[in-house]
Structure 1
Amino acid sequence: MLRAFRSIARLVRAARVLGRHDALFPLELREEMPGVLLMLMPLAKIRLPWEAAPERTGDAGERLATALAALGPAYIKLGQFLATRPDIIGDALAEDLRSLQDRLPPFGMGEARAIIEEGLGKPLGEVFREISSPIAAASIAQVHKARTKPAHENEEERDVAVKVLRPGIEQRFARDLESFFWVAEQIERHYAPARRLRPVEVAGTLADSVKLEMDLRLEAAAMSEMAENIAKDKGFRVPKIDWERTARRVMTMEWIEGIPASDRAALVAAGHDMHRLGMQVIQSFLLHAMRDGFFHADMHQGNLFVDEAGNLVAVDFGIMGRIGPNERRFMAEILYGLVQRDYVRVAEVHFEAGYVPQSKNIHAFAQALRSVAEPIFGRPARDVSMGKLLAQLFQVTEQFDMRTRPELLLLQKTMVVVEGVARHFDPDHNIWESAEPVLKSWMMERMGPEARIEEAAAGALQLGRVMANLPEVLDRAERTARLLAESVDEEGVRIHPASAEAIARAQEARSPWRHPAFWAAIGAAGALILTKLF
């Protein structure tokens, strides 16, 4: 009950802010609203004497973005998160909410100094020779430029970027997230039409994302992992982490000297090849997603720089995406099949992946895919969107009872963003031509003969582990037989019937000869032997 009262009080305040910005009951949506909500409109728009009159300008999405910015960090993060889910809120509203990137004013240097000193356990002067006022401020943290003070003789002074969490941000987010969960539960419980939007799941995903962003050591670890993955790649890099000057609420990294990717005019003036940059951002993203299964999931222009050598440098690793080996293979085959216009193969992959129930007709599904993709081909390159094509394909698959795949939605969302960056660099960029060599190379590497041999070897190794345990299994069987022999009298073995039945079931379940993994290993070993022979 106390949780409900707290949540209601916070939500009343939020509703009043949204109402005064005409974002709670937007004119564009009033025909679709229940009458009880429309009755509350006058209450939400009441302005108290000390409150400034808001500017009700722009469309519904713009007004909502302004209201969320006024509500503070948690609501800004909510807006940023919803901007990644056009499948739920629609493309137009998602586009408006993407403006919520760096809307908050910075906090004071005194507070920043206290957080840094507490996190690193040292006076600021022992760690940094100098530190600037904030150069960027977002909903969760702000960034300062600093120069390190060497901690030992072999260390040189370096320019670094220092990211600092906002004071009290964890407690504020915890309170607001409690309210988000409460209202999501009420909506899902009492308003059936909204259940398809999965409000509780949306709140849970937002909460998980925020938890990761509240510990800057985790962001540093993500940067370090990606740096290892791309160590041999060209054209894309990430800043190096200064682990000695990083803690839960403070992160120090290499300072990047470069031109923001958002400043196209400056990039052109500096002589950078805009077509190559467009190709680089697409191919880098696909390489990270398909090869590594680990990708930057917020790779918009504001999080990218171009250094003097023409490398793309990514920052802000608070939102990362992961996809498993199977999902990578399925997605690569789907994309490559679309490039080749092989709709039957694309349909087969959906069925093999289990995305579409086996009860559906594969040829009917291929026909549906063709109806979406075929009108796109033959159009000018600048009019062909890979991300939007995937979104349309996912909409078609809903007609065939395809279950929502959250990891694929994040991949799709990032692909739309990256595609926008590529078109920002080069408006005539052909997304498909950039993607094809990466997809083709990945498939040849992962699905060619050498990859099959590796899979067979892995299966043989599993078989070896099973066989290595065989002596122990036989030894246990011998001991069991001896014990049973000692338990036999003239009337036979003295075991309760229920116990005997339980032992039989357990022995049957444990038998390696009945375990699917055992036969999979046998098959892999056979494949390996055949490969070696022929």
Structure 2
Amino acid sequence: MWLSPYFRLAQAGFVLAREGALSIIPKESLPPALRAPIALGRLVERPEVRRTGHVERLNRALRLLGPTYVKFGQTLATRPDVVGPEVAADLQGLQDRMEPFDPKLVPDILSQALGPKAEQLRDISAPVAAASIAQVHKARLVPTGALPTTVAVKILRPGIVQSFAADIESFYAGARLFERLARKLRRLRPLQVVETLDRSARLELDLRLEAAAISEMAENIKNDTGFVIPTVSWDHTAQNVLTTTWVEGIPVRDLAALDAAGIDRKVLAANILQSFLKHAIRDGFFHADMHPGNLFAAPGSNDVIAVDFGIMGRIGRSERRFLADILYGFITRDYRLVAERHFEIGYVPANQSVDDFALAIRSIGEPLHGRTAADISMARVLGQLFAVTDLFSMQTQPQLVLLQKSMVLVEGVARALDPDLDIWSLAEPVVGDWLRREAGPMGRIDDLKRGFEVFTDASKRVPTILAEAELVLAQTRLEQQARLRDAGSRLPLALGAGALLLLGILIGAVL
């Protein structure tokens, strides 16, 4: 029924408003068009929320609404500076402490997914982590003719595909409604943003694609240090089952355990932030769900161990260069560079002023320099950015949605580990090295190589293109000849009809 997505969306909005979700949205980050609807929605808040200001049941509300909303809550959990420390602490339970599904279902799921290979997975534990999409079990893999190894077995929740589809459908409905009711905000491209999230969800719900993502990232980071990922067992992986090597680590959110193990939290935070930037800028392929439940510290070192590669981000070379230039511009306080890159890539319309845009960017960047992460209010920064995008008619770039979300997650995790985090100092080695390589001889060689590959590929297609052109020309000649023959056959009829018409006119004139 076409009304069901809107009904589901309205239901979700009511539940979230009742539990106080609208009260955590900072007014300064909202455009004027949305302030009145938010104020209206807060009228249905529970009395306890309005009286105390506590939003203690938001965690439960998101669980009830389903996996897509849980994902949203996981992002908020990393931003105590935006939602407040109490709300963030409550939402951390969404990251890997969800209620597991019935363990009695596990043997049948494995048997149907893996066939005879399922018998090689033994001593399967109770769920060691249960998230919104899947849960993870520890097991012993006993392959024929090989030594047993300890593995992690990830299993999708039964019925999760259908649940995600319903949520995404309601998001599409909400995006269409938003575009109709808030025409001035169409530049945010809500429909394209939902399409991006939809594609991401479809990828996340096929664990074979997650296995492929782990394999690709392993190739990208084979020469790196400080970032560790598991290895896939392809013989024991299917659409709804993923088996990887077991990794031991200390959760990055357990600060007391990190300190007790002698982990240097500052180094760990730097590894997380720099690894993410390296993957995004150098490789264009990055882990897009780096919340604290997916990150661990390796005992005996400050290495980061990452798990759960269901959501991956990919950006092209132009977006990577844009990101690097923007970060470098903020690092060096070259706001003119930041402004010019926005115009060159088409994010700001050409009819706007580069100088005025550079001035607006300076108003955001200057207050951030010389401040620690603890001194920066991201809510205020987001509010300023929204005002700037509105002022200069900037449009949302769907291809950067996952990157923007991931940067928020990564910065939130890193600043929790190190409140004195200096984002710009940590970013400079990664960004600067990549830009220097791009601008240097190696970058020029890569450009020439890519140009030669394009030229070679086009050259290979020339014979085919010529053959197709000849066919089109031949077909065009045949059609022209056919039209001439038809015209010739219709000429006598046309002359006869004209003569009869003229005769009729003459007879009428005589009579």
Counterpart pick for 1:295 among 267, 283, 286: 286
Instruction: Name the structure 1 match of 2:375.
Output: 383
Question: Greater share of helix residues, 1 or 2?
Answer: 2
Once the 2 structures are TM-superposed, how far is the Cα of residue 285 of structure 1 from its aligned partner?
0.7
Aligned residue number for residue 124 of structure 2: 131
Query: Aligned partners of 1:354 and 1:102: how far apart in 2?
Result: 40
2:113 to 95, 105, 119: 119
Contact 2:97-2:129 within 8 A present in 1 as well: no
Q: Please name the residue that 1:218 is paired with.
A: 209
Q: Which residue of 1 aligns with 2:501?
A: none
Question: Match of 2:36?
Answer: 32
Deviation for aligned residue 1:92:
3.0
SS state of the match for residue 115, structure 1? helix
Please name the residue that 1:529 is paired with: none
**Whole-angstrom CA distance in 1 between matches of 2:103 and 2:405:** 36
CA 471–202 in structure 1, closer or farther in 2 if over 3 Å, else same:
closer
Deviation at 1:37, TM superposition (A): 7.5
Is 1:73 matched with 2:67? Answer: yes
Summarize the Cα distance change of 1:458–1:192 in structure 2 as closer, same or farther, 3 Å threshold. Answer: closer
CA contact (8 A) 1:385 1:419 kept: no
1:422 maps to what in 2?
414
Equivalent of 1:149 in 142, 150, 168: 142
Distance 1:403 1:372 in 2: 19
Displacement of 1:230 in angstroms is 0.4
Given that residues 78 and 413 in structure 2 are in contact (C-alpha distance below 8 angstroms), is that contact kept between their aligned partners in structure 1?
Answer: no
Q: Report if the CA contact (8 A) 1:298-1:414 is conserved.
A: yes
Aligned to 1:233: 224
Q: Deviations 1:456-476 (Å, cap 9, x if unpaired)? A: 344345445666777999999
Q: CA deviation at 1:13?
A: 6.0
1:464-479 equivalence runs, <5 A: none
Length-normalised TM-score, structure 2: 0.77
Please list, as runs of the form range in 1=range in 2, the aligned pairs for 1:55-74 lying within 5 A after superposition: 59=53, 62-74=56-68
Return the alpha-carbon distance in structure 2 between the equivalents of residues 443 and 185 of structure 1: 40
Distance 2:138 2:278 in 1: 31
Shift in CA distance, 498/366, structure 1 to aligned 2, threshold 3 Å: farther
> What CA deviation, in whole Å up to 9, does each residue of 1:116-136 have, x standing for no partner?
111111385x22221101111
CA contact (8 A) 2:368 2:376 kept: yes
Indicate which of 134, 154, 160 corresponds to 1:169.
160
Using the alignment, how far apart are the partners of 2:39 and 2:410 within structure 1?
41
Q: Is 2:276 aligned against 1:282?
A: no
Shift of the 388–438 alpha-carbon distance from structure 1 to 2, 3 Å rule, reads farther
Percent of pairs with identical residues = 48
Distance 1:20 1:422 in 2: 32
**Deviations along 1:280-327, whole A, 9 cap, x unmatched?**
111111100000001111212221111133321101112211111011
* 1:244 match: 235
| Distance of 2:21 and 2:453 partners within structure 1 | 60
Question: How has the CA–CA distance of structure 1 residues 448 and 57 changed in structure 2, closer, same or farther, with 3 Å as cutoff?
Answer: farther
**Per-residue deviation, 1:336:** 1.0
Stretch deviating more after TM superposition (456-465 or 14-23): 14-23
CA distance in 2, matches of 1:102, 1:426: 22
Q: Secondary structure of 1:3's match?
A: coil
Say if 1:137 and 1:478 are closer, same or farther in 2 by CA, change over 3 A.
closer
Q: Which runs of 5+ in 2 are unaligned?
A: 28-33, 485-511
Residue number in structure 2 paired with 1:344: 336
Tell me which of the two structures has the higher relative contact order, counting C-alpha pairs closer than 8 angstroms and 6 or more residues apart. Answer: 2
**1:137 touches 1:143 (CA, 8 Å); kept in 2?**
yes
Q: Which residue does the alignment assign to 1:313?
A: 305
* Superposed displacement of residue 145, structure 1: 0.8
CA RMSD of aligned residues (A): 4.3
Q: What is residue 451 of structure 1 aligned with on the other side?
A: 443
After TM superposition, the structure 1 stretch with the greater mean CA deviation from structure 2, 62-71 or 252-261, is 62-71
Contact 2:187 2:395 in 1 (8 A): no
The 8 Å contact of residues 275 and 425 in structure 1, kept in 2 or not, is answered as yes
Give unmatched runs, 5+ long, in structure 1: 46-52, 488-494, 500-534
Structure 1 residue 79 displacement after superposition: 4.4
Whether contact under 8 Å (2:15, 2:61) holds in the other structure is yes
Secondary structure of 2:116's partner? coil
Change in CA separation of 1:194 and 1:23 when aligned onto 2, cut-off 3 Å: farther
Residue 357 (structure 2) pairs with residue 365 (structure 1): yes
Q: Which moved more, 1:6-15 or 1:247-256?
A: 6-15
Partner of 2:346: 354
Say if 1:285 and 1:98 are closer, same or farther in 2 by CA, change over 3 A. farther
Could you tell me which amino acid in structure 2 is paired with residue 293 of structure 1? G
Q: CA deviation at 1:418?
A: 1.6
Structure 1 residues 123 and 55, CA, compared in 2 at 3 Å: closer, same or farther? farther
How many residue pairs get matched? 470
For normalisation by structure 1, the TM-score amounts to 0.74
Residue type at the aligned position of 2:353: N
**Are the counterparts in 1 of residues 62 and 73 from structure 2 also a CA contact under 8 Å?**
yes
Matched, 1:334 2:326: yes
Residue 434 of structure 1 is matched in structure 2 by: 426
Matched AA of 1:224: S
Cα distance in structure 2, aligned partners of 1:85 and 1:463: 47
Distance 1:388 1:233, change over 3 A: farther
- Displacement, 1:331? 1.2
SS at match of 1:122: helix
C-alpha separation in 1, matches of 2:470 and 2:137: 70
Q: Secondary structure at the match of 2:243?
A: strand
Which of residues 85, 100, 107 in structure 1 aligns to 2:101?
A: 107
AA at the equivalent of 2:64: A
Give the aligned partner of residue 272 of structure 1. 263
CA distance in 2, matches of 1:193, 1:477: 46
Q: Is the 8 A contact 1:278 1:426 kept in 2?
A: yes
Partner amino acid, structure 1, of 2:156: L
Whether 1:207 and 2:215 are equivalent positions in the alignment is no
Which whole-Å CA distance do the structure 1 matches of 2:125 and 2:289 have between them? 26
1:138 CA drift (Å): 1.3
Between the aligned partners of 1:74 and 1:331, the Cα distance in structure 2 is 27
Is 2:17–2:41's contact at 8 Å kept on the other side of the alignment? no
Partner Cα separation in structure 2 for residue 477 and residue 204 of structure 1:
37
